[in-house]
Amino acid sequence: MKRSRLYLNFLILIFLFNIIFPSVSATNYVSGIYEDQELTWKCNVCNQIEMESIFGDNWDDFGIFNNLSQGKSMKWKINYIIVNETKININFSIWEWRFENIWGLKDYDSELSYLRNPGDYSQAINFSQYSSFVPFLFPIPIGEYIGGLDLINWYDVDNRVLPTLNVKINKNGISPGIPSKNIKVIAIYNDQGILNSYKLYITGNIVIIDLSLDFLPFYVIPTLIGLFIGFSLGIILYLIKRRNSKIGLKQKRG
């Protein structure tokens, strides 16, 4: 009788735990970016001759590499994000690679769509629809998300330090003559799921494409430092005032 009661109490505890903590065993994947956020990437290295040799003359006529060359930048502006039970849709505007500091009119709008559960994809995934072979955005927490994807053998996920996609494509791996050499891509993401660093290599660890997320403008950094100092001083003054109040109260009681 005691054993049956103990077993019943155990089942009740499990039931209550599942009601109170329904998401303990399931990760809630969301978008790490927000509406109206602007993202800018800059091109640090672009060996156009090597890219033409590997991918053909029209390698920069379409996709994310359209009009790419060293020293140019690309901007995205997030228009809206729709999240439902099964999908995350991100709509954004693109200003393609250009030298000008004034962006002017956008080039076009685009959209990314992800299943909220990485295990719900019905077949192994590759990102060959992107000329970069990797997306520039992922849902978060990104380490768990890309780790939960069933990727084809081009891809290897490395979450030891920073969420990273390593891509290795052998010669003729896409189609006859494409690529004309073995290539490797290392794509590193930040905790917002944004591509932070992108490098495309050929044999000998020679970098032929190097892209990076542009950081805050120089004039923003002093402002942030000033705010931090002001906030810190405010806390220090508050603690000193509180300490003096306690000392004064003790002296009165004495």
Q: What is the pLDDT of residues 180-214, one digit of tens each?
A: 999 999 999 999 999 999 999 999 999 999 999 99
Q: What is the pLDDT of residue 91?
A: 98
pLDDT at residue 20 above 80? no
**All residues at 6 or more sequence positions from 197 whose CB lies less than 8 Å from its CB, including other chains:** 186, 187, 188, 211, 212, 213
Least confident of 5-19, 37-51, 122-136, 141-155: 5-19
Other Cβ atoms less than 10 A from the Cβ of 249: the count is 10
Render pLDDT for 111-122 as a digit per residue (tens, 0 to 9).
999 999 999 999
Mean pLDDT of 21-45: 84
Q: What is the pLDDT of residue 254?
A: 57
Determine the Cα angle at 101 with ends 99 and 104, to 5°. Answer: 95
Of residues 154, 143, 76, 80, the one with CA closest to residue 113: 80
Confidence band (pLDDT; 50, 70, 90) for 18?
very low
Confidence band (pLDDT; 50, 70, 90) for 231?
very low
* Residues 73 and 41: beta-carbon distance below 8 Å: yes
Which parts of 106-151 fold into alpha helices (H)?
142-147
Mean pLDDT of 139-160: 96
In this prediction, what percent of the chain has a pLDDT beyond 70? 74
Q: What is the mean pLDDT of the chain?
A: 84
Q: State which of 24-33, 215-224, 245-254 shows the largest mean pLDDT.
A: 24-33
pLDDT at residue 4 above 70? no
DSSP state of 63: G
Q: What is the pLDDT of residue 243?
A: 65
In this prediction, what percent of the chain has a pLDDT beyond 90? 70
pLDDT at residue 35 above 80? yes
